[in-house]
Each structure stands twice: as structure tokens, then as C-alpha cells.
Amino acid sequence: MDSKLTLVIGNKTYSSWSLRPWLLLKHAMLDFKEFRIPFHSDQWKHEIDQHSPSGKVPVLKDGGLRVWDTFSICEYVNERFMTGRGWPKDPSARALARSVSAEMHSGFPHLRQSLPMNCRRRFPGFPVPDNAAIDIARVLEIWRTCRLAYGDPGPWLFGGFCIADAMFAPVALRFHGYDVSFSGAEARYLDTVLEDAAVREWIQAAAEETEVVAEEEVDWPYEAFL
């Protein structure tokens, strides 16, 4: 039977917000279609308003229903298809998972601006600006706190994969891409993300994209992402 679910996304190379609900849908093993609209394309110009009330991606279509904005898509998927398994079961862990996910959704502007997600290119020796370094230190503190308090058993922030991991996956890809180095529990968590089959599927699809969006690229020598 055809899936009723369609996730409208941007370029896999650049669209960090698209990656988050896509990853959750994959980990929930839900059958869904993708509809990709490349940024700055004629297709985007002519079609985005038909798909997205906010004019942004991602948007999840479930039959006639449209759900937009990453956090609300994740909450919808969790409630409608995962019977709550999208968040940790333990109430304290769940509260922390929601807090760090909300912090990710609303924060880290310097990290986002200076290290835009790029799943095709890796920038060895990239000079991270001081304000982005402060954001990075806070992300690492979050990862360490979650892993040490709630990480066992399992390799994800709260043991098993949850929405918080979907929220931080693009950040992990940025750390890999922009050569941000660190060690310990945080580094092991980065490996978990990079080795995840769904993440690798996304990166592989990004490698096959041909569009180069100048606004999303940084000016620094690069090599292949993986």
C-alpha cells in the first residue's frame, strides 16, 4: 500500500532541519515518501508555497494534514506513530531530552551561521570563530551530561535513539565537517552518529546531489565529507 506520509525536504547537502524529522521517521521505521525541493531553484520559487505554510522545509504531509516546523513534526510523529517512544521513558530523562532539544531548536546561532551544514564537503583546519566555539562547548557539555546521566545501555544520548538525537545529528555532522576535535564520551557519541545506517544513507544521497548553493558554502579548501 502507498504511504500516506510525505516529508517535504530541501537539499540533503545543506538542509539540517530536513535531516532531523527524516532521521526520526527512519528510526521509527515508518514508510514515507520524500519530496525534495532544491533551495534557490525555480522549483522552490514556484512550488514551496503550495507545500509549506511557512515557506520553509521540512513539512510532513499525512494525507490531507500538513505539519510544519521540525519540533512539531517530531512531536506529531512521536504521538501518532510511536506511542511516545520518541522520548525516553523515564520522566527525568524525558524532561532533560526535551530541554536540550528545545535549546537546540532555538539556540546556537553562531554555530549555525559560521558552520552551515554541508554533507558533501569536509573543511580540514577550518578556523572556528570565537562565538561559535562557545556554542560548540555548550553542545559538548550537553552531550556529555546526557551520555553520563542516561546513556546506558546504548550509544545514543539517552541510550536508545530518541528525538534529542535527531535534533543533534546535524550538529554532529558539522563537527565532523569543520574538523572540530574533542575526545571522551562526546567523541564516542559523534562516532555513533557518523556510523548510523540512516545518517550514512542521507550522506550518500547528499553526495549524489549536483546543486551547489553559493549562499550555503564557506570559502575554505575542502575534501570529500566521508
Ligand X SMILES: N[C@@H](CCC(=O)N[C@@H](CS)C(=O)NCC(=O)O)C(=O)O
82 residue type, one letter: M
Q: Any contact of residue 112 with ligand X (CB under 6 A)?
A: no
Shortest Å distance, C-beta 17 to ligand X: 4
Q: Give the shortest CB-15-to-ligand X separation in angstroms.
A: 4
17 forms part of the interface with ligand X (CB under 6 A) = yes
Q: How far is the CB of 152 from ligand X (least distance, A)?
A: 30
Q: Give min distance, CB of 59 to ligand X, in A.
A: 8
Phi-psi region of 192 (alpha: psi -120 to 50; beta: other; left: phi over 0): alpha
Our CB check for ligand X shows the closer of 58 and 151 to be 58
Please give, one letter per residue, the 3-state secondary structure of the chain.
Answer: CCCCEEEEECCCCCCHHHHHHHHHHHHCCCCCEEEECCCCCHHHHHHHHHHCCCCCCCEEEECCEEEECHHHHHHHHHHHHCCCCCCCCCHHHHHHHHHHHHHHHHCCHHHHHHCCCCCCEECCCCCCCHHHHHHHHHHHHHHHHHHHHHCCCCCECEEECCHHHHHHHHHHHHHHHCCCCCCHHHHHHHHHHHHCHHHHHHHHHHHCCCCCCHHHCCCCCCEECC
Q: Among residues 8, 12, 13, 16, which is the contact residue for ligand X, using CB under 6 A?
A: 16
User: Which range touches ligand X (CB under 6 A), out of 9-17, 132-140, 178-186, 188-196?
Assistant: 9-17
Choices 11-19, 80-88, 123-131, 140-148 (CB under 6 A): range interacting with ligand X: 11-19
**Least Å distance between CB 10 and ligand X?**
5
Total residues in contact with ligand X, by rule CB under 6 A: 10
Residues 50-69, mask of contacts with ligand X (x by CB under 6 A): ------xxx----------x
Evaluate whether 40 touches 215 at the Cβ level (below 8 Å): yes
Mark the segment that binds ligand X (CB under 6 A) among 8-16, 27-35, 139-147, 152-160: 8-16
Between helix 197-207 and helix 184-195 the angle, nearest 10°, is 60
Spatial separation of the C-alpha atoms in residues 35 and 11, rounded to whole Å: 10
Q: For the CB of residue 157, give the shortest distance to ligand X in the complex, in Å.
A: 19
- Choose one: 16-24, 92-100, 142-150, 159-167; the region binding ligand X (CB under 6 A): 16-24
Interaction between residue 78 and ligand X (CB under 6 A): no
Min dist. Cβ of residue 47 to ligand X (A): 13
Residues that bind ligand X (CB under 6 A): 10, 15-18, 56-58, 69-70
